[in-house]
Amino acid sequence: MLYLNRITARASGPLPVSQYMQLCLSHPIEGYYMKQHTGDADVFGSKGDFTTSPEISQVFGELLCLWFLSIWRSPQGNIQYPKIRYVELGPGRGTLMSDFIRTLSMWPEPMEAFTSIHLVETSQTMRSRQGQALQTVLSNKRLDEGRNITPVWYDSIDDVPEAAEDEFTIVVANEFFDALPINILEERGFREIMVDTLSPTPAATLKSEPSFRFVVSREATPRSELLSRLSPRFSKLPNGSRIEIASSAWRIGRKLAELISSRGESMGGETRPFAPKGAALIIDYGDEHAFGSSFRAFKSHRLVDVFEDPGMCDLTANVDFALLKESMADIGISDNTATTHGSLMQSDFLTQMGLFLRLQTLMERQRDYTKRREIETAGYRLVNSADPRGMGKVFRVLGVTGGVEHDIAPWPFQKAIGSC
Ligand code: SAH
């Protein structure tokens, strides 16, 4: 990656990991997500570098849609908010959104309520894939009939407008947060781990392909000081341990909660829950803590070194769901709040949402034996936690609803089945 090469050669010192990740994934010309990937060179799917849950089975998007509809229909929700808008962060090929809309269109009421689509996507290549996918689903289902549901794209969640008074906001983010740049700190006075070139002479570096290595900065910097204060948990880490911190995940998490936040109803000095004005599902690999060494690269479904072929591999790091929850706590925008639910393992979320019943229905409708088996295998892969290719255990689902906490968390996030 020549651009990265030049930058590092000319820079006064090593790069923060976040900058390396940003350049590799999102550089306008050489970034991994920005390139024209077609046919066999597609980044997703069996021939690409990685596969996501919606690409594996349509059931994923269908069950997510059912969850959102159950929140919208919760007492008075659909009366108070007769309009629904859909916001997705990093929609990839648009498969999840297509399955979502197809499911929504099975009921006249939510279909009637569906008014707008807002997509946060930095890659032009991905935007055009999403546009094509939407065109197909909207034309098939005649959802667009009589109304003009034109998607709007944004570079950042900050640009997504506030919802109208009568609008319910749905936010979906599947495998979005893991692609956000991280910084790595070492708890030895919170010194930052940086990316340096191996070749010491700028002239040699410019000619050859870049080779990189991690180095530890000599002392704490204003950035590392600031990052170490992002969560009170980070001050309790054992000496010498490393943590990966995605500060943009914190910022985006907070903005996401603001988008769906709503006010409670004040009654006799008490704030009582109202119907939520929006809801979100964040699905990703990770857990309820910070990770130290999850930063990794994928190429053709193979785990490779993060410095192998910059710009040609998917770079990813596990999501710290505890940090996301901290980012959403006490947002307090003119008394508006949001409540987090979970996180739950993806296998728990999907099975409780009725995955097996849905798979059975799809299989019964299919006469071809091989296709029936394919539906079954794909569905099980979403919840399998034993097989390394299975997504049940490593993926987690965080639910967020606007407003103050209700007595009972929305299904399937009840405490009894393991929400944190
Ligand atoms: N949600 C999809 C795709 C996940 S891949 C699925 O489940 O199949 C990550 C997606 O996020 C890609 O579309 C990529 O272009 C986009 N993306 C990555 N970093 C981004 C950023 N900082 N802002 C907006 N979109 C981003």
| Continuous segment of H or E residues that includes residue 148 | none
Write the CA distances from 168 to 68, 82, 100, 159, 278, integer angstroms.
10, 8, 16, 18, 5
pLDDT value at residue 95: 96
Residue nearest to ligand 1 atom 14, measured at CA: 90
**Average pLDDT, rounded, for the chain:** 86
Q: Ligand 1 pocket test: which of 175, 176, 255, 391 has the largest number of ligand atoms within 8 Å of its C-beta?
A: 176
Q: Is pLDDT at 246 greater than 70 in this prediction?
A: yes
Residue nearest to ligand 1 atom 11, measured at CA: 90
Band (pLDDT 50/70/90 cuts) for residue 255 is very high
282 lines ligand 1 (CB under 6 A): no
pLDDT digits (tens, 9 = 90+) for 34-92: 876 544 456 776 667 778 999 999 999 999 999 999 999 987 777 889 999 999 999 99
261 lines ligand 1 (CB under 6 A): no
Q: What is the share, in percent, of the chain residues with pLDDT greater than 70?
A: 84
Strand segments, DSSP code E, in 198-295 are 212-216, 242-245, 265-267, 270-272, 278-287
Are the C-beta atoms of 127 and 133 separated by less than 8 Å? Answer: no
Strand segments, DSSP code E, in 165-211 are 167-174, 183-186, 191-197
Determine the Cα–Cα distance for residues 95 and 52; give it in Å rounded to an integer: 10
pLDDT digits (tens, 9 = 90+) for 269-296: 665 557 789 999 999 999 999 999 999 9
Q: Which atom of ligand 1 lies nearest, measured to the CA of 43?
A: 5
Contacts (Cβ under 8 Å, ≥6 apart) of 32? 24, 25, 26, 43, 311, 312, 313, 314, 315
Calculate ∠ Cα 348-349-354, nearest 5°. Answer: 95
130 lines ligand 1 (CB under 6 A): no
DSSP bridge pairs for 169: 85, 278
pLDDT digits (tens, 9 = 90+) for 345-395: 999 999 999 999 999 999 999 999 999 999 999 999 999 887 766 777 789
Judge if the upstream peptide bond of residue 108 is cis by omega within 30 degrees of 0.
no
pLDDT digits (tens, 9 = 90+) for 100-110: 999 999 998 99
The type of residue at 194 is: M
Question: What is the Å distance from ligand 1's center to 218 Cα?
Answer: 34
pLDDT value at residue 261: 86
* Sign of the C-alpha dihedral computed for residues 355, 67, 110 and 159 taken in this order: negative
Q: Ligand 1 pocket test: which of 25, 121, 124, 298 has the largest number of ligand atoms within 8 Å of its C-beta?
A: 121
Residue 201: Cβ within 10 Å count:
10
Q: Which atom of ligand 1 lies nearest, measured to the CA of 55?
A: 8
Determine the Cα–Cα distance for residues 92 and 96; give it in Å rounded to an integer: 9
100 lines ligand 1 (CB under 6 A): no
Tokens of 242: 């490393």
Question: What is the Å distance from ligand 1's center to 347 Cα?
Answer: 22
Residue 263: Cβ within 10 Å count:
16
Q: Which of 159-173, 263-277, 359-373, 402-416 has the lowest mean pLDDT?
A: 263-277
49 lines ligand 1 (CB under 6 A): no
> Three-state SS for 238?
coil
Q: Ligand 1 pocket test: which of 21, 23, 27, 33 has the largest number of ligand atoms within 8 Å of its C-beta?
A: 33
DSSP-derived pairing of the beta strands 167-174 and 83-89: parallel
pLDDT value at residue 82: 93
The type of residue at 286 is: G
Question: What is the Å distance from ligand 1's center to 90 Cα?
Answer: 3
Are the C-beta atoms of 398 and 346 separated by less than 8 Å? Answer: no
pLDDT digits (tens, 9 = 90+) for 111-153: 999 999 999 999 999 999 999 999 999 887 666 666 778 899 9
Determine the Cα–Cα distance for residues 181 and 60; give it in Å rounded to an integer: 26
Q: Is pLDDT at 314 greater than 60 in this prediction?
A: yes
pLDDT value at residue 420: 39
176 lines ligand 1 (CB under 6 A): yes
pLDDT value at residue 39: 47
Tokens of 262: 């709503």
96 lines ligand 1 (CB under 6 A): yes
Determine the Cα–Cα distance for residues 324 and 303; give it in Å rounded to an integer: 26
Judge if the upstream peptide bond of residue 327 is cis by omega within 30 degrees of 0.
no
Question: What is the Å distance from ligand 1's center to 311 Cα?
Answer: 15
55 lines ligand 1 (CB under 6 A): yes
Are the C-beta atoms of 101 and 141 separated by less than 8 Å? Answer: yes
Burial annotation 298-321 (CB, 10 A radius, 16+ → b, else e): bbeeeebebbeebbbbbbbbbbbb
- Residue bearing tokens 């949001």: 338
